[in-house]
Structure 1
Amino acid sequence: MSEPDDRREPEAWWFLLGLFLVTAASLAVEVLITRLLSVVTWYSLAFLVLAMGMFGLTAGAVRVYLTPEDYRPGRLGASLARDARRFALAVPVSYVLLLLVPLRVEPVATTVPLFLLFGAIVALPFVPAGQVVSAALTKSPLPTGRVYAFDLAGAALGAPLVPELLERTSLGTAVLLVAALAAGGAAAFARSVSDAVWLRRSTIAALGLVLAAGLNGSSLHGLVTVWAKGRAEDRSQVEAELWNSHSRVQVSKLGRMPASLWGGGKKCSPPLVRQRTIMIDADASTPLYAPERGLDDLGFLDCDVTNVVHQLRPGGAMAIIGVGGSRDLQAALRHGHDPVVGIELNRRLLEILEGPYGAQTGVPTNPAVRLVHDEARSYLSRTQQKFRVIQASLIDTWAATGAGAHALGENGLYTVEAWRTFLDRLDDDGVATMSRWSSGETVRLVAVASAALLERGEPRARPHMALVQSGAVTTLIVGKRPLTAADGEALRRVADDKGFVVLLG
C-alpha cells in the first residue's frame, strides 16, 4: 500500500464527499437488509438488523481507538479509503451469506449458535463502516461541525434512497448499487490525499459492483432468496418479482387449478379455474383469477364466507380495503355494486392489476371500478363519499413498513377508531364487513366493533351485528342501523345453501 507524505492533509471536499457517500450507503444497507430479513424470516426478527448494525458500528469505532497509528494525520485518507473499500466489498458478501443461511426459530439448542452466526453476518459490513465514521469524526483536521454535518446529510440521503431503488430494481441489484456507492466513497477518500493506488483499487471495485448490479438486474435468476420463512423456495413457477420498501411481491405463472377459497362452505366444491398466485413476502398469498368467460365464471366466489355480505346488500356503492388479486372486486361487480372503490396500501399490487396480468381479471377496465393507492383508514377519513358496503377480508399481509420501527401496515385497521371511521362512511342502510381467522381474533373484532357502536350512542351493539363462520374464517357484519329480520333470514338461507354456520344473527 502506498503511503502519502505525512504532512499532507486531505482535501476537504473530496474527504467530505467520501464520508457523505459512506454514511449514505450505511443507512441504505441497514434498510435493505431489514427488507431482506422481512422475507427470509419474520418481521419481529427483521429488526435485529438495527441492533446488529449498531453493534457493528460500535465495533468499528473501538477498532479505531485500539489502532491509532492507522489513522494518524499522514495516513488518515489512505486508511479511510481502505476501510470504505472493505465496507463496499463486505456488503455483497453479507447479503449472499444471509441468502444462504436457513434461519429457523425452533426450541432446540442449535438455534442459539445459528442466531449468533446470523447476527455476525448482519454486523459484518457495519464494522468497516463504523471505522470510517469514527475516524472521520475524531481524527480529521477539518472542523468537527462540518464533518458531522456531512455525516448526517449522507445518512439523511441513505434512508429515502432505498424506496427509490426498489421501485426500479430488485433487492439484490439495489444492494450491489449501494455497495458501489460505498466504493465511490473510498475513491473520494483516496482522491482527497492523491493516493493513486487506493484510487485505482476503489474505482475498480465501484465499476465491478455496478457491472454486477447490471447483470443481476437483467434476470430473475440472479442473487435471490433460496430460503424463506424456514423453508426452501420453489422459484420454478415465479413469472414476475417486484419489490418496494415494504414488500416483495411475486406473481406465479398462469395455471388451471381448484379455486382458492379462504372460507369455503361445506356444501361447495371449488371448480377448476385459470388463476395466478400473488405471494407477498413469501407468506401472504392472494389469487388472481383470469376467467375465460368473464365474471360469469366466478359464481364460486359466493361459496366463500368472506363474500356473504352480498346476500344482504347487493348493489350500491362499495369500498374494498385491500384489493389483493381483485377477487373481492370481482365478487362486488358480480352483485351489481357501482361504484366499487378498491383501496390498496401496496402500490405494487395496483401495478399488477393495472398491467397485463390484471387485464385478464376484467376488473381494471370495468367503468364501475376505481383503484386508489392509499392507506384505507386515512382515505376513508378524508373522503365525503358514502358507501352501502365497506369490506375488509383477511387483511393480514404483515407488511412491515420502511419506517425503521416494528410497524405493520394494517395495524390501524383493527381498532375502535377505525370502526368509528367505517361506520361514519356508511349510508343509513349500509354495513361494514370484516373477515378474520376463527380464533381469538374474532373475539377482539367483535369487541372493538361493539365499542365503536356504543361510542356512537347506540344503546346496544348486538342488534347491529351478524357473525358467520366457515372453517378457519369468520365474517363479522356490522350495520349502521340494527340489522332487520329480513337480513337474518337471508343469512340463514345462504348458510343453509352453502354450508356456513350462523353464529350470531
Structure 2
Amino acid sequence: MQSNKKDINQLIGVFLLSFSVLAFETTITRILSVILYYHLAFMVISFAMLGLGAGGVYIYFSNKIKEKANFFIALFNLLSSISIIVSLVLVLSFPFKPSVSTKTFFDFWFLYFIFALPFFFAGLSFSLIFFKLSNQISKVYFFDLVGGAIGTLSVVPLLYILDAPTIVIFIAFLTALSSFLFSLNCQKLFKIISGALTIFLLFLVFFNFYYQIIKVSYVKGEKETNIIFQKWSPVGRVVVSPMRENTIHAWGLSPNYKPEKYPEQLQIMIDGAAGTNLEKITDNLEKDLKHLKYDITSLAYYIAPRSRSLIIGFGGGRDVLTSVLFGFKEIEAVEINPIMKEIICQRFKDYSGKICEMKNVKLVTGEGRSYVAQSSEKYSLIQLSLIDSWAATVVGAYALSENSLYTKEAFLEYFKHLEENGILTISRFVFEPPQQTIRALSLCRAALEELGVQNIEKNIMIFKTPVFYNKDLFVSNLMCKKSAFTHEEIEKVENIAKDMGFDIIYTPLHQKDNYFTKFILTKDTKQFYKNYPFRIEPPTDNEGFFFHMLKLKDFWKVFNFKSIEGGQLHNYYSIFILITILIIASILSIFFIFPPLILHKTKFLISKKEVLRYILYFAFLGLGFMLIEVSLIHRFSIFFGHPIYSIIVALFSILLFSGIGSLLIGKLNIKISKVIFALILTGIIFLIVSFSFFNINGSLISKSFLSILFLAPLSLFMGMPFPSGINILDKKDRQLIPWAFGVNCLTSTIGSVLTLILYINFGFRITFLTALFFYFLALLVIKKLEQS
C-alpha cells in the first residue's frame, strides 16, 4: 500500500514537472516576444532548452547522484523552481534593445544562461527519473507527455485570466510542488524547506496578481510609461497609451493634408511591435475623421461600389470608421485578438463613438480567412491594411509565426467572395528592392490566373507614400479586381493620388519602369522569381511564411540590411537565427554523443559499437518526433487560421495520444522494428490523405473533431519507440539511460529548428517526409540491434 502511494506521488511529480517545463517555455517566449522580437525570443529559448539535454549527459557521468536519486530529483526540482523566479526577475529588470552589435551579443548570452538554468535542472531531474523508474517507463513517459500536453494547453486560458509574469510564478509554484512530492521520501528538514517554498510561491501568485510587483517594464529596450490600459492574451499583450501631441496616426497620410485641428487619438500597441490607434469620435463624424479620407489605405474607397465592405483585422476600428465615412450600407469586420473588441465595445466605447452600436456595423472576433470561407456574402470591398504576425504566439519556441491570410488559397477565397466589380485592397510596406508589396502582388496574380483571368495588367493598381513616423519608409496600396479597372476608375484614382501627393507605382494607364511593372508584364514568372534578390513566390498553404523572404543561400546577408532597420529588420533575422542555432546545437550533439564513449571510466556491459547504435537510435527518434510535431503545428495553424487552435487541437492531440501509445506498448510484446515500420507506413498514409484533409471547410468544432481523429493513429505510434528503447536499455545497461535521454532532448531541439528551415524553404510535405526518413534510420539501427 505504501509502495503504491509512493509510486502515485512520483508519477504526479513527473506530470507536474513536465507541465511546468512546457508551460514555462511557452509563457517565457510570450514575455520575450514583448521585450525583444519573436525571432530573438525563439533563439534564446531554443538555446536554453539545450539545457535539458546537457542535464541528461551530466547525470550519466555522476554515479554518486544516481545512488541518491530520490533526494537529488527533489533538489533539482526545487532549484528549477527557484531559477524560474530568478530568471523572470532578471529579464524584467534590464532593458534589452536588439541590434547588430557586440552588446547585443553579450545580452543574448546572458539571457541564454539565465533561461538555461531552469531547463538544466529539469533535465537533471528527468534523466534521474527515467533512470530510477526505468522499470515502469511506459507509465512515466505517459505522465511526462500528458503533463507536457496539458501544460502547453493550459497557457491559452491562463493568458486570458492572468498576466504572463504571474503565470510564470504559478509555474514555479507547480515545480516546487513537484519537488515536495518527491521530497516525501527524503529527510524531514528537506521536506519542510520544499513545503515552505511551495506555500510561499502560492502566496506570491495571488500577491502579484493583485499588486503587479513583478511585471514588464521595458519593451524593445524602452521604458513603458503613461499606460492607460494593458491586457495579456495568447495572441499578444495589448497596451493603450496616449498618442504623441500634434501627431496624426495614419499609415500613409497625404503630405498635402493640412488639419485645422489635430484629431484626438489613443495608441494601441501589440507586443510593442504592431500598432494601431483608437479615434476619438463626437457627434461630428465628418470633422473628427476627415484625415481618414487622406490616408493611402483608403484609396480604394473612392471607386469601390458602396454596398458591403469586409475589414480583415479591424484593430482599433479605423478602417471600420473609414467604411462608415464613405457611406457603405453594410460593414463587416473581423479581428482575431479578442482584446480589440473589448477595447472598442467596452473599455473605450464612449471614446470610440460606440462603433459596436452602429446598426450597419458588425464586429466579429475570429480568424479572418475562416470567416470569409464560411460567409455566404459577396463584398464590394475587402480590406487588409498592415495585418502582421510578428508576435511569438503560444506555440512558443517550437514555431516562428506565420500568417494564413497571405497564401494563394486565402486570396482565392477573397476573390470568390468579391462582387464582380469588387476590389481587394491590401496595404504593405515598400522597401527597395520591393519585398512585402511585390509578394502580395504575386499572390494577387497567382489567384487571378487560377481563376482564369486573362491580361492581369488591367486588373491591378499600386500607389505608395511615406509612413507617418518615418519619411524614408513607404507604405503602399495594392488594388486587385477580378474584372478590369475601367478607364473612368483609373483616371479618378490617379487624379486623387496626384492631388494627395501619392506616388503612382503602377496603373494600366501608367506603366512605369520598375520591378512591379516588370513583374506584372512578364510572361515567365518562374524566371523572375529565380532572378529576384528575395523570395517573392506566392506562399501556399503547404509552404506559408509570407514574411520570411530571405533566400536560404543568402542568410549571411542579414548584416547588410542596416539601411532598412526602420522597416522591420527583425523580419530578416529568421533564417540566420535558425541556421546559427542548428550549427551550434549540432556541434553540441556531436560533443554529447562521442566524448562519453571515450571518457567513460566504467566498463560498458555491451560493446561500444552497440552503445553508439543505441545513442544514435535515440538521436533519430528526437529528430523524427520533432519534425513531425512542429511541421504539424504549422500546417494545422494554416488549417485552423491561428496557432492558438493548433495548440488546443493538434499539439495537445499529438502529445496526448503519444502518451496513450506509451502506455499501450508497455502492455504489448512487440518488436520495436515492427512498431517503427507501422509508424512510417501510417505516416505515409497520413501524408497522402492530408492532400484532401486540409481542404476541408467547416466550423471550428467540426474541424477540431475531425483533426483529433486524423491525428490519433499516427500519434499513438509516435509514443511507442522511446519507452521501448528505454525498456531495452534497462535490461542491457541501465547506466546509459540518462545519456540516451540527454541526446534525445538535444536532437529534439535540433529537430524543431531543422523543421523551420525545411518548412520555410520547401514546405510541409518535404519536411514531413524528412521526419519519416529519420524514423527509417532509427528502424535500420534497431534492426541491427535486434539481430545482434
Does the TM-score normalized on the shorter chain lie above 0.5?
yes
Distance 1:149 1:422, change over 3 A: same
Distance 2:275 2:349 in 1: 16
Which residue of structure 2 aligns with residue 4 of structure 1? Answer: none
* SS at structure 2 position matched to 1:448: helix
For 2:206 and 2:344, the matched residues in 1 are separated by 27
The one-letter code of the counterpart of 1:259 is I
> Partners of 2:506 and 2:494 in 1: how far apart?
10
1:299 CA drift (Å)? 1.4
Match of 1:501 in 2: 503
Letter matched to residue 350 of structure 1: K
The structure with the largest helix share of the pair is 2
Q: Over aligned residue pairs, what C-alpha RMSD do you find?
A: 2.2
Distance in structure 2 (CA, Å) of the matches to 1:189 and 1:358: 52
- Which residue of 51, 58, 61 maps to 1:56? 51
1:430 equivalenced with 2:422 (yes/no): yes
Q: Is the 8 A contact 1:242 1:250 kept in 2?
A: yes
Question: Structure 1's 196 and 8: CA in aligned 2 closer, same or farther, altered over 3 A?
Answer: farther
The alignment status of 1:486 with 2:488, answered yes or no, reads yes
Specify which of 40, 48, 63 is matched with residue 45 of structure 1: 40
Listed as ranges, the matches of 1:26-425 within 5 Å are: 26-72=21-67, 75-140=68-133, 143-191=136-184, 193=185, 195-219=187-211, 222-229=213-220, 231-233=221-223, 235-253=224-242, 257-270=246-259, 271-296=261-286, 297-313=288-304, 315-362=306-353, 363-404=355-396, 405-409=398-402, 411-425=403-417
- Structure 2 counterpart of 1:365, one-letter code: E
> Which residue type is aligned with residue 338 of structure 1?
K
How many residue pairs are counted as aligned between the two chains? 492
Q: 2:232 and 2:108 mapped to 1: Cα distance?
A: 26
2:381 partner amino acid: V
Distance of aligned partners of 1:406 and 1:447 in 2 relative to their CA distance in 1, 3 Å threshold = same
Partner AA of 2:274 in structure 1 = A
Q: Is the 8 A contact 1:295 1:330 kept in 2?
A: no
Instruction: Please state how far the C-alpha of 1:491 moved relative to its aligned partner.
Output: 0.7
Aligned-partner residue type, residue 326 of structure 1:
G
Distance (Å, rounded) in 1 between the aligned partners of 2:76 and 2:400: 34
1:155 deviates by 0.9
Question: What SS does the aligned partner of 1:273 have?
Answer: coil
Counterparts in 2 of 1:115 and 1:194: CA distance versus 1, 3 Å: closer
Q: What does the per-residue CA deviation read over 1:51-107, in whole Å, with 9 as the maximum and x for residues that have no partner?
A: 2243111222233223332342xx433322221111111101111222234444444
Q: Are the aligned partners of 1:388 and 1:430 in contact in 2 as well (CA < 8 Å)?
A: yes
Gapped runs of 5+ residues in structure 2?
A: 467-473, 508-788
More divergent stretch after superposition (358-367 vs 35-44): 358-367
Cα shift at 1:257: 4.5
* 2:453/2:482 contact within 8 Å kept: no
Question: CA offsets per residue over residues 287-341 of structure 1, 9 Å max, x none?
Answer: 1112233523111100101011111125211110111110001111111223211
2:756 corresponding residue in structure 1: none
- What is the CA–CA distance in structure 2 between the aligned matches of 1:222 and 1:257, rounded to whole Å? 34
SS in 1 for 2:391: coil
Decide which moves more: 365-374 or 61-70: 61-70
Rate the CA distance shift 1:215–1:60 in 2: closer, same or farther, 3 A.
same
Inter-CA distance 144–408: structure 2 relative to 1 (3 Å threshold):
closer
Structure 2 distance, partners of 1:254, 1:51, is 36
Q: Structure 1 stretches of 5 or more lacking a match? A: 1-6
2:453 equivalent to 1:458:
yes
Which residue number corresponds to residue 22 of structure 1? Answer: 17
Scaled by the length of structure 2, the TM-score of the pair is 0.60
Matched, 1:444 2:439: yes
8 Å contact 1:103–1:118 — kept in the other structure? Answer: no
SS of equivalent to 2:228: strand
Cα contact 1:314–1:335 (8 A) shared by 2: no
1 or 2 for the larger relative contact order (CA 8 Å, sep ≥6)? Answer: 2
Q: State the secondary structure of the residue aligned to 2:129.
A: helix
Offset at residue 50 of structure 1 (A) = 4.4
Counterpart residue identity of residue 475, structure 1: N
| Counterpart in the other structure of 2:563 | none
Equivalent residues of 1:255, 1:274 under 8 A apart: no
Distance 1:241 1:223, change over 3 A: same
Residues 25, 504 of structure 1: alpha-carbon distance in 2 compared, 3 angstrom cutoff:
same
Q: Deviations over 1:425-447 (max 9, x none)?
A: 10112111001112212222222
C-alpha distance in 1 between matches for 2:9 and 2:111: 35
